[in-house]
Structures are given as structure tokens and as C-alpha cells.
Amino acid sequence: MINLLFDFNNMVFRSLYIISNYSNKYTFDAQSEIDQLMRKIAMDISFIIRLINPSRIIFTIDSKSWRRNINIEENDGYKAQRSKSKIINWDNIYKTLTDFTDIMESQGMIVTKIEDAESDDLLACWRDELLFTQQQHVVIVSGDEDVRQLVQFYPTDSKKMVFSTVFNPFMQGKNASRKLYVPKYFEQWINEVTAADIFNMKGSIDVDKEDFKKIISAERTKTEYVDGRMIALRKIFCGDDGDNIPAFYTWLNDKGKEERLTNSKFVKIYDSMVLSPDEQMDYEDLWDRRDKLLEVIKTVLKRTPPFKIEDRLKRQFSLVVLSPILFPEKIQQDFENLKEKELAKPKVNYASINMHNLLEGTRYVNERKTSGTESNIFREMDKMTGKSLF
């Protein structure tokens, strides 16, 4: 069983800027522009649904982040440097998003939004529930590189493997490709030939494996192995300017210029921390060995940090790591309260879904209901040369 999780805000904002051609062309004051955005989102999402053939579809929606309350001494705070375009009518954009998710819920899909939780947080909650508890496959759709932390494998009680993967469908540039980010053992599993594969026994074929093969065989799609824990660890140490997260340690050199813990220094620190060449250390191991970490930092950087190692680790974990046990208790409890009800929703067959039937009965398609294919239904979309996500 494959669960399809959409990082909805990431999807929408990519569509928004593609619609406006990465410029200030659209303000989204006009209803025609809002309608075009709605149809673009529906077209892109229905394409992915048909490609992946999921048993369950879940959308996660951003709320104001709890991380904005974390004090960062080095700057103004988490994502504080970000600003929205002042020419875009954001009220109209947010109303469109609400309209779209209402439509999705009416179609039997799950829409999750929790106060103070980012979309990434909810993806992490759902990933843990579906992969570890339900022991089902997960495909997360997102162009956000941080979400690749959630790529993981899990051996089930029946000694089978289930996988959490991240599918990035966004292609930009002449030779760009879609990416399916996969964990360890995925390639071995997908290429393993079983007796059922050989004799093609009816009812014995691994349907999930065939669906993954369909994703991989899609035009301009490549698989790429990633180690989710290393993505998180690297960001803990090196920071992320895009989210206004500083490196684990920054200091002023003799010339008064700021320096930071770099990727090359991170590699040296990590190599010094692991107990054997084959060990795979994660953030929990880092916490357990925090005393050793302090000594390693002193050795590698030839400097003594002016902060308590425990305090800095806690801050970086909270800012970086997508693990529900690090989220505020209220977010964890709110998710526990909603998950059973959402998982009880009946399954719906989405095999033939397209933008037209996704929006059928709404103001967005009523006037063009008699047209044929998606490309004919909305010819203005065909005129947007170079603006397609896929």
C-alpha cells in the first residue's frame, strides 16, 4: 500500500511563481488569475496522483511555525529574513488554497493542518505513523530539500521492507529531471526477482513494487540514494541560510570577520565521533556523546565554544530535525487526536483522476465542461510555454 503525501504549500508556491513566470507579471487581484492558479494546481496534482496510483492521499498545510519562538543569538530568528511580495494579493491566494483543500476533502482525501505546525512537521508525523506503525510505503511529494530527512526504510514484522521516499517532480532547465529520493535497500528491493515475478501468479504480484517501477520509468525520472539522517546532521552543524538557521558554532577571527563551522569541518567532526567505520550515527547518538562532541570540536576547530554544548544541541535539534518527539507536546497530541479519524476514511480509486473531474461542479470548470482532454479544456495553459512544472 502506497500513501501519497503532498507538501501542499511547497507545491502551491512553485505553481504560483510558474504561473507568473517568476516575475511580477501577476498580482492575483483578478479572478482570471486566481482561476488559472487553481487549474494549474489541480492539473499538477492530478498528474502526480495518476502517476503514483496511491491507496491514500494526504495534504499537509503550513501554519505559523512554533520554531519562530526559539531564541537565536546570532540573528533575528527562524525564517525572520523572509518577506512576501507586496504586489501579490495574498488574501486571494490563501482563499484559493482553502477552496482547493475543501474540494480535496470532499473527494475523500485527507487534509491536515495543526496550529503552530509547519507542513514539514506534519509530514514527519504522518511518515512515522504510516511507515513505522502501519508498516506501509510512503511517497512524499516536495521540492524542499529538507524533507529528504524523511527518506527511510523499515523492516516489517513479516520481514518485508517498507520505504519512505521523496518525489521531486519539479524540472527546471533543459536537462533537468524528476527525482525519486530513496533509502538504503530500495534498489535491491525494487530489482529483486521473486518466484511470483517469474511465474506471474495472479494475485501474487507485488503491486506496490510495480507502482514504484511506474514512477521510476516515467519520462525524465531518476532515482537517487540519500541518507536522511546525514541530511539532518549536516544541517545541525552547518546551518541553513534559507531558513536563517546559523551553523552550530560561529566566531570572529583575528581580523574581526565571522567564520562558521563548514561542511569540511563537519565531516571531520563526524568521522571523529563514530565508533567504527560502519556505524551510522544519528542525532540521538550525538546527544548521548555530547561530552565527546565538545572535545572533538575543540580539537578540530582549535577553539573552545563559549556556550553549553547541551543548550546548543537542543536548539539546533529543534530548528532542524524533523522528528515528532522534538515537537511541542500540543502538536504531538493534536496529531494523535486526528489521525485515527482520518485513517478511517474509506479508500477512493483515483486512477482516472484529472484536472477536469477534480474540479468538476465548481466555478473553475463549469463554463468549459464539454471540452475533451486537459490540454483542450484550458487552452490558455498550453500557451504558457516553458511554465509547466512537469
Task: Count Cβ atoms below 10 Å from residue 49 Cβ, excluding itself.
Answer: 21
Predicted confidence at residue 337, as pLDDT, reads 96
Predicted confidence at residue 294, as pLDDT, reads 96
Mind listing the pLDDT tens digit for each residue in 77-114? 999 888 888 888 989 999 989 999 999 998 889 999 99
Highest CATH level, class, for 2-226+328-379: alpha beta
Classify residue 22 as exposed, middle or buried by CB count within 10 Å of its CB (0-12, 13-18, 19+): exposed
Question: DSSP for 184-215?
Answer: TTHHHHHH---HHHHHT-TTTS-HHHHHHHHH
> Which residues of the chain register pLDDT less than 70?
21-24, 172-173, 194-205, 366-390
With contact defined as beta carbons under 8 Å apart, do 236 and 316 qualify?
yes
Question: DSSP for 50-112?
Answer: HHH--SEEEEE-----GGGGS--TTSS-TTTT----TTS-HHHHHHHHHHHHHHHHHTT-EEE
Predicted confidence at residue 22, as pLDDT, reads 54
Predicted confidence at residue 24, as pLDDT, reads 65
Model's pTM, two decimal places? Answer: 0.90
**Range(s) of the chain covered by CATH 3.40.50.1010:** 2-226+328-379
